[in-house]
């Protein structure tokens, strides 16, 4: 393992001074124990420290739980912390033994014993270190949102035009293609809307499948629940996305029930393909730019005055990974408001 290779290499470079060979041998052995133990502890603290400074936001913690399982991060961090404590104790014990060791054979035996037990402690947390590395890479591939900035999350079924709309509204350059699930993880752009600089979050398509949802869908649901101060729900009335209007409307109704009080802006995309469609909803087109100014105004008007939902939590506090948005929420019935661009359910 790389951590042990680094530790043992640094320990092997110990060149202590001493008036006699016996004194130099003892000091060299002590330095090997101190250097190798300290190097391993420093490496382990470096791995875990990235999750404590400055701390994960509510959104980041929920994304980790959604992808890796509830409590997976906390369990791995706890096991690594216990390993560090054990290594500290082992190092103190070995230093005491070396002070009282007699002769080179006993000194050599003690160093080998320490190396073996140190290696054992590190190998016991191999799985945890691998998981922490996966989580760190996962988070690095996701945008870090500024908690103080207003955030609108663009959501809806796959291939309804979310990414193209995000590209028009913000500085983001999302990949746009004529097939579903082009967007596989959340992406962020920024837009100056009035006096505020907004974060515009693009999300993978959601089919409303609850527990049967794939990883990309679950990530989108988490972003809607944990990051959105305003939800921009995109509907494709042409059904060229491959999903009927009835399914899209059903998901919208479900989110209205499950997120009472969260502003939802409903827009119909691809209006250049159905220019004469009669609807009370805002119609937009990323081809002709129809409705984009009205949409920007609707987002500005929907800006909440409350604190963002994804502020950092105190250490040790965890969230339940969303199934859809929670079974309890499904039992709350809120009358549907079908008029106007913004629903304040």
Q: Domain-by-domain residue ranges, the chain? A: 2-139, 146-343
Please answer whether residues 1 and 123 qualify as being in contact, where contact means their C-beta atoms are separated by less than 8 angstroms.
yes
Q: What is the pLDDT of residue 251?
A: 94
Nearest alpha carbon to residue 34 among 93, 108, 119 = 93
Instruction: Give how far Cα 183 sits from Cα of 166, 219, 237, Å.
Output: 12, 11, 20
Q: Which fold has domain 146-343?
A: Rossmann fold (3.40.50)
Cα angle 299, 253, 199 (rounded to 5 degrees) comes to 25
* Residue 92 predicted with pLDDT over 60: yes
Q: Please state which of the four CATH numbers 3.40.50.720, 3.30.1950.10, 1.10.10.10, 1.20.120.1190 is assigned to the domain occupying 2-139.
A: 1.20.120.1190
DSSP string, 229-272: SEEEEEE-TT-TTSS-HHHHHHHHHHHHHHSTTS-EEEEE--TT
> Whole-prediction pTM value?
0.75
* Residue 177 predicted with pLDDT over 60: no
Strand 264-268 and strand 282-283: the pairing is: parallel
The Cα 217–Cα 328 span in angstroms is: 20
Strand 187-193 and strand 230-235: the pairing is: unpaired
Q: What is the pLDDT of residue 174?
A: 54
The top-scoring range by mean pLDDT among 48-52, 141-145, 198-202 is: 198-202
Please answer whether residues 150 and 229 qualify as being in contact, where contact means their C-beta atoms are separated by less than 8 angstroms.
yes
Instruction: Give how far Cα 188 sits from Cα of 117, 122, 174, Å.
Output: 46, 38, 9
Query: Mean pLDDT throughout 209-219?
Result: 84
The Cα 23–Cα 280 span in angstroms is: 89
Using the structure block, give the residue that is written with the tokens 């709350």.
332
The token pair at 100 is 């009282």
Q: What is the mean pLDDT of the chain?
A: 84
**pLDDT tens, position by position, 103-147:** 899 999 999 999 999 999 999 999 999 999 999 999 998 888 888
pLDDT band at 209 (very low <50, low <70, confident <90, very high): confident
First and final C-alpha spacing in the chain: 54
**pLDDT tens, position by position, 226-246:** 999 999 999 999 999 999 999
Classify 338 as helix, strand or coil.
coil
The token pair at 87 is 């290594």
* Residue 302 predicted with pLDDT over 60: yes
The token pair at 150 is 């207003």
The DSSP letter of residue 157 is S
pLDDT band at 178 (very low <50, low <70, confident <90, very high): low
Query: Mean pLDDT throughout 71-79?
Result: 96
């Amino acid at each position: 393992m790389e951590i042990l290779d680094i530790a043992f290499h640094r320990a092997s470079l110990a060149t202590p001074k001493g008036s006699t060979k016996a004194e130099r041998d003892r000091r060299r052995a002590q330095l090997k124990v101190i250097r190798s133990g300290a190097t391993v502890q420093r490496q382990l603290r470096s791995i875990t420290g990235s999750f404590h400074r400055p701390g994960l936001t509510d959104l980041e913690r929920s994304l980790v739980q959604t992808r890796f399982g509830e409590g997976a991060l906390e369990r791995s961090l706890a096991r690594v912390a216990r390993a560090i404590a054990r290594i500290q104790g082992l190092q103190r014990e070995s230093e005491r033994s070396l002070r009282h060791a007699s002769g080179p054979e006993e000194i050599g035996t003690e160093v080998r014993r320490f190396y073996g037990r140190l290696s054992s402690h590190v190998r016991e947390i191999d799985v945890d270190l691998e998981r922490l590395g996966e989580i760190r890479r996962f988070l690095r591939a996701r945008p870090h949102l500024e908690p103080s900035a207003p955030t609108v999350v663009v959501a809806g079924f796959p291939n309804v035009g979310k990414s193209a709309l995000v590209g028009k509204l913000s500085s983001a350059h999302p990949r746009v293609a004529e097939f579903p699930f082009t967007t596989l993880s959340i992406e962020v752009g920024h837009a100056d809307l009035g006096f505020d600089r907004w974060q515009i979050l693009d999300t993978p398509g959601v089919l409303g499948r609850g527990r049967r949802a794939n990883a990309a869908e679950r990530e989108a649901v988490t972003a809607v629940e944990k990051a959105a101060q305003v939800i921009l729900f995109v509907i494709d009335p042409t059904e060229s996305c491959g999903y009927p209007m009835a399914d899209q409307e059903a998901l919208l109704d479900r989110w209205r029930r499950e997120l009472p009080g969260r502003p939802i802006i409903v827009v119909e995309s691809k209006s250049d393909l159905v220019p004469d469609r009669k609807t009370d909803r805002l119609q937009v087109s990323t081809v002709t730019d129809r409705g984009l100014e009205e949409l920007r105004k609707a987002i500005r008007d929907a800006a909440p005055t409350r604190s963002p939902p994804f502020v950092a939590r105190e250490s040790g506090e965890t969230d339940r990974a969303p199934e859809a948005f929670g079974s309890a929420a499904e039992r709350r019935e809120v009358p549907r408001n079908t008029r106007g661009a913004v629903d304040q359910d």
